[in-house]
Amino acid sequence: MGVIGKLIRAALVGGGLCILGVFAVFISVVLDERRSPNLSLSDGDKVDAVVVLAGGMTNKIRLTNESMARFERGAALFSEGIGTHLVFSGYSPAQNVSEAELMGQLAAQAGVSPDAIVVEQTSRSTLQNALFTADIIGRDQRILVVTSRTHIDRAKRAFLWAGFTQVETATTDFRQATLRRHLRGMWRETRAICFNALRAPIWTVGHRLGMARDNLDWIIA
């Protein structure tokens, strides 16, 4: 077999492995979506902060159904006395108010003390959710991350990557209204998992080489 033939064979093998990897991630996401809402904390267990990840906002400056489900789940858990602070994380580039800020306003209207509410409103991705939250509250905190079922595994990995060592999780019971939206959401999550597997290490290497954060954070946006 000539050099060109070997290259073609290597490309085919590599491409096949990539396809199998993406398919495996997609199956994992499908299984996550079918799980019941869960809470990894035991009864009576506490955390330093309940961290709610934003899930979108409409053009009318309202939380999407998915985002509202996350807010309601996080607020309900916080009201049970699980955490000391209630953190909202998420940015909305198309609006004058961020998703996190809107969640914070809703929490205050529901009676949560302003001193307990923390708003992180510059993150544009799950990796930035984790990294920027760590910058605000510190990585030594025990946190409870609240998000949707298909998103929870990627979210937990992101917070561990950002330096948190004590990450508990809670998921919502949100489901997309149609099969088409189900499939589109699961495929989007699959792409994001694969993409994060590439860009998170790049950010880490750059950071360890002493590159400024301003020159790195765009990589994980």
**Cβ contact 180:171 at 8 Å:** no
State residue 43's pLDDT score. Answer: 82
> What pLDDT shows up at residue 140?
96
One-letter amino acid for residue 123 of the chain: S
Helix (DSSP H) and strand (DSSP E) numbers for the chain: 6, 5
Say if CB 49 and CB 86 are below 8 A apart: yes
Could you give the CA distance from residue 13 to residue 27 in angstroms, rounded to a whole number? 21
Token pair 């990627």 in the structure block, residue: 154
Residue 131 near residue 120, CB atoms below 8 Å:
no
pLDDT on residue 34: 56
Looking only at the bridges linking them, the beta strands covering 83-89 and 47-53 are parallel
**The tokens of 99 are what?**
């998703």
Report whether 93 contacts 124 (CB < 8 A): yes
What does each of the 221 residues of the chain score in pLDDT, given as a tens digit? Answer: 565 554 455 555 555 555 655 656 666 555 555 555 678 888 889 999 999 999 888 877 889 889 999 999 999 999 999 999 999 999 977 667 899 999 999 999 999 999 999 999 999 999 999 999 999 999 999 999 999 988 998 999 999 999 999 999 999 977 665 667 767 777 888 888 888 989 999 999 999 999 999 999 999 99
pLDDT at position 16 is 56
* pLDDT value of position 61: 81
Give pLDDT, residue 30: 57
Question: Structure tokens of 107?
Answer: 């929490």
Which residues on neighbouring strands pair with residue 170, listed in sequence order? 39, 146
How much is the pLDDT for 158? 97
Residues near 137 by beta carbon (within 8 Å), at least 6 away in sequence: 48, 49, 85, 87, 118, 143
Please, which residues bridge with residue 175 across strands?
none
What domains appear along the chain, each with residue ranges and CATH number? 1-221 (3.40.50.620)
Taking Cα atoms as reference points, which of 60, 14, 92, 66 lies closest to residue 189?
66
CB 145 within 8 A of CB 152: yes
* Per-residue model confidence (pLDDT) at position 161: 97
Q: Which amino acid is at 152?
A: I
179-218 per-residue burial string, b: 16 or more CB within 10 A, e: under 16: eeeeeebbeebbebbeebeeebeebeeeeeeeeeeeebbe
**Distance set, CA 217 to CA 47, 67, 110, 129, 205 (Å):** 28, 24, 34, 11, 12
- Residue 84 and residue 211: Cα distance in Å, rounded? 34
pTM: 0.84
